[in-house]
Amino acid sequence: MSELTIDDILGPRFAGRRFLRPNDLFELGIVDNRATMDYWVEQGVLPAPMRVGKRCLLFPVSEIAALLMARAREREASQPCPSNPLTHSRAPRRIEEALGES
C-alpha cells in the first residue's frame, strides 16, 4: 500500500492549501460546531489554531492531516481482522459446531 499524501487525505477541494479555517473543518466533518472545536482545542485533541486578526483562525493542514492519519491508525488497530475466524462475529457458533455442541 502506498503512502497517502495530505491531498489524498483532505480531497481535491482542499488540495494545495497550507491552512484550514474552522468552516473547512466543519465541511470535512472533523468537528460539528464551534463549541466542540473550542473544547477539543482546549483538551488538546485538535492543534491550537493561529489567530490572524480578531476573528480569523487558521489550522495548519499538516497538523490536521497528522491527526486524521493517527485516528485512522487507531481505528484500524481496534477493528478485528476479517480473515481471522476467531474475531469474526460468527466465530462462537463455529467453535461450538466444531466441538459438537449445540
Q: List pLDDT tens digits, range 53-86.
A: 998 999 999 888 888 888 878 877 776 655 555 4
pTM for this prediction: 0.66
- Does residue 46 form part of some domain? yes
What does the block give as the cell for 83?
480473515
Domain annotation covers residue 37: yes
Q: Is residue 24 part of a domain?
A: yes
CA–CA distance from 54 to each of 18, 46, 58, 87 (Å)? Answer: 20, 20, 12, 52
Is 35 inside any structural domain?
Answer: yes
3-state secondary structure of 27: helix
Among 47, 42, 45, which residue's Cα sits nearest to residue 74?
45
Owning domain of residue 89: 6-99
Number of domains in the chain: 1
Confidence of residue 21 (pLDDT cuts 50, 70, 90): very high
